[in-house]
Structures are given as C-alpha cells and as structure tokens.
Chain A
C-alpha cells in the first residue's frame, strides 16, 4: 500500500448490525494489525458469524464504519473482495466438479492469469495434489475443508477470514487443518478466525478477542495470557 490511510488491516468503528428490530451487533470497535492472527471467541448467538460476514462484504453494516485492507465497506466492496479469502463451515465447492475444476472456476472469478501453475501450488499446499482429478463429491469432510482453504487462497489474499473452520471435522482432519492454517498465516497474512474450540484457537492465534452479546468484551495478546490461561480469561470475560 503506497498511500495507506491507517496502520490497521481491518478496522471497525461503532459497527451496528440489525435484522429488523433485532440488534445483533451493538457497536463493535475492532482493529487488526497486518500479520496478526486474531481468534474471535464467544458463545453461540454472540454475533460472530454476522460480524465476519460484514467483514467479508457479504452483509452490509447498519451503522458504523468498516475498513478492510484500506478500503471502506460497503462502498469499495469489489476492491476488498480482491484481497480477501473467506472460509466458512460450508465448503463453497461444487460436488459435481473435480478439485481442479473447482479451483479453476474460482481462479477465473478472481482474474488469475497463470491458472495451471497456481492450482498446482495451491493443491500442494493443502496436500491434495494426488486427488486433483477427483470429484469433490468423493472427498471426505476434512479433504473438502482443506480444498475450501485452497479455494480461499487461490488469489493469494492479504486478509483471511475463517468462520468455524473446524465444524464437523474429526481429530485427524482437525490436525491436518491446523497445518494448513499455519502455512496460510505464515505468509504474513492477516487472519481473523471465529471458533468456540478454545484449544485450537490457543495454538494458532496471536490475539484473542471475545465477542459477547454483540460487543467485544475483552481482548488479550498471546504473551499477556501466559500467566492466566485462555479458558479462565474467556470465562471471566463472558461473565463480567
């Protein structure tokens, strides 16, 4: 960024989201520095998914400001989208297409030039090169989720959003996903991940924010948590 307006990769100010009269987010102030891996924790119904969908440009804020990769949402949504990779608990893949065809489709949607090479790189990264020509409908849940991550990084995004990526995965699949997530984060990307699996989040994230009833109630960096553990921190934040 030549003319960066702020130091933050993601920033929301007084973000409010209402569905009709129901207020899901009630003034969220949130900022993430480049390269940070933030775990967004909170009980069900706290508004985590809604919040992530707003950052992903899939939902419009009712009030407040949202800036992602130095572009305002929703006005500059197209610019944000080009720099953003999103993984949700749904794979966003077409079961009747092969792994390669799925990636090829998304590569085209992001205007990638050397599609073949990029697809090979991505499949290597998520460990599915040997299943390149297989239909996604024959993949296990874990493999689908890894391919979903491949899909999300196909355009080499600067910012990544993960919404409960571990949902429905067994132990082995979760461990493999850990490795993939680490390699995604290792490239200096900015990551926000929602999860209610505290243990997984603890291993990966560099910062922990807790969202409860539509507001961020606590935030701590990894090094600050050395003394108390994450669970105690989480419980303390929710109950206060």
Chain B
C-alpha cells in the first residue's frame, strides 16, 4: 500500500486554511455591497469556482491532446481527474449563481451567455462520462474521451459567442450582470482582496483535489491489476 505523500498532506492542510481565510474574507472582511446587500458575498466563491471549473476544462482538453499524441495512460487519468473535479466546481458555480441571481435579477435562471455556456459545458461533461461508461476497453475509452473533450473544448467558446448574438432579440434582465462581469460594480480595495484571495484559494483546493483524484486513479488501476492476478 502506497502511503499518502507528505506533500499532499501538507497541501490538504493548506487547502483547508486558505479556504477558511477566503470564507472569512468573503463573509466578514469584505464590506457589504451597497445595492445588493449581503447576497453579493456569494460572488467571491462563485467566481472562484467558475475559474477553476474553466481551468479544469482547458486542462482536460490539453491532456486529451497529449494523450492522443503520446498514448500514455497517465494523461488519460489526468484528463479524467480534471473533468471530474471541474464538473463539481461548475455545478457549484451554477448553484451559487442562481442563489445570487434570485435577489439580484429577480429570477433563478436567465439565458445569459455565461450561464448557458456553463450549463452546456456541464452537459458536455455528463455526455463525456456516459461515453466512457459505455466502453470497456480502457485504451479505447481514453482515446474517445480525449477526442470528446477536445470537441467540447472547441465548441464551448463558440457556444458562448453564438448565445451572445441572441441577446438582441431576447432582452433579459442582465443589465447589472454585464456591468458586473466586466468588473463594473466598483469593487473597493477590501472587496478586491477577498476576490483575488478566493481565486487563489480555489486554485489551491483545485490542485489538491486533482492530486487526490490522480492518486485514486493510480490505486484503482492497482486494484484492477491485483484482481486480474487473482483471477488468473
């Protein structure tokens, strides 16, 4: 049995600490936003999770290409890890976004380009897992998975651009949203501190989780190997 690397344990502790600090910064330290009130505090984690979700998506596509070139299964494990972690973070992003949208826009959901693209990306992830589940040969699973993440990675930005075109005929209540997305609502220095720290904290948590998932993948393979040895 491989013991857990010390570095990983350290990273676990660091993750918890930075997440704690980030929570403090978001909920206590940052001033209450004048117009929206306390619910605006959700925004820090919303951006943090969205950032790592996106990061994971890009990493997965790059790992996919790397796999197709090298055929090294470690890239496949990396890709799966990135997609899995990213799926969860994107889901949190959407939920937090909804919580914020309810009082801010007076609706749980709006077909804004960012929201829609996030939802479509989530669907691509789900399709990705279904595809992998339907394949038995691990090598084929890796190849198809890599091609599919690549297709998803290429189509997601176009989805975003296309949906932006629809806003002209579907006017929606996102006036303050687009202002906000461009950094429009004037952040105070303290807000900015909380904001950047949240990005940092979630990046650390993301790396920690990817590491765990990679380790889990390696252990999974070892178990498979042992099972196979027993059956022979």
Q: A residues touching B (Cβ–Cβ < 8 Å)? A: 19-22
Q: A20-B139, A21-B138, A21-B224 are in contact. List 10 more A-B contacts (CB 8 A).
A: A19-B137, A19-B138, A19-B139, A20-B137, A20-B138, A20-B224, A21-B221, A21-B225, A21-B228, A22-B228
Chain B interface residues toward A at CB < 8 A: 137-139, 221, 224-225, 228
Give bound CA distance, A22 to B139, whole Å: 11
In angstroms, how far is the closest chain B Cβ from the Cβ of A112?
A: 33
A25 to B228, CA, bound (A): 15
Task: Give the CA-CA distance A22 to B138 in the complex, in Å.
Answer: 10
User: B-side binding surface: helix, strand, loop or mixed?
Assistant: helix
Q: CB-nearest residue of chain B relative to A20?
A: B138
Q: Which residues of B contact A21 (CB under 8 A)?
A: 138, 221, 224-225, 228
| A75 nearest CB across to chain B (Å) | 14
Cβ of B137 to closest chain A Cβ, rounded Å = 5
Task: Report the separation of the CA atoms of residues A21 and B225 in the bound assembly, to the nearest whole angstrom.
Answer: 6
Q: Which residue of A lies closest to B226 (CB)?
A: A21
Identity of the chain A residue whose Cβ is nearest the Cβ of B227 in the assembled complex: A21
In Å, the complex CA distance between A21 and B221 comes to 8
Bound Cα distance A19, B138 (Å): 7
A19: B residues at CB distance < 8 A: 137-139
Which interface residue of A19, A20, A21, A22 has the most chain B CB atoms within 10 A?
Answer: A20
- CB proximity of A60 to chain B, nearest CB, Å: 9
Pairs A–B under 8 Å by Cβ, sample size 13: A19-B137, A19-B138, A19-B139, A20-B137, A20-B138, A20-B139, A20-B224, A21-B138, A21-B221, A21-B224, A21-B225, A21-B228, A22-B228
User: How far apart are B195's CB and chain A's nearest CB, in angstroms?
Assistant: 44
A55 to B228, CA, bound (A): 27
Complex-state Cα separation, A21 to B218, whole angstroms: 13
Cβ-closest chain B residue relative to A213: B232
Q: Which residue of chain A has the shortest Cβ distance to B231 in the bound complex?
A: A22
Task: Give the CA-CA distance A20 to B227 in the complex, in Å.
Answer: 13
Q: How far is the CA of A89 from the CA of B224 in the complex (A)?
A: 32
Using CB atoms, name the residue of chain A closest to B138: A20
Shortest distance in angstroms between A50's beta carbon and chain B's nearest beta carbon? 12
Report the Cα distance A22→B221, complex, angstroms: 12
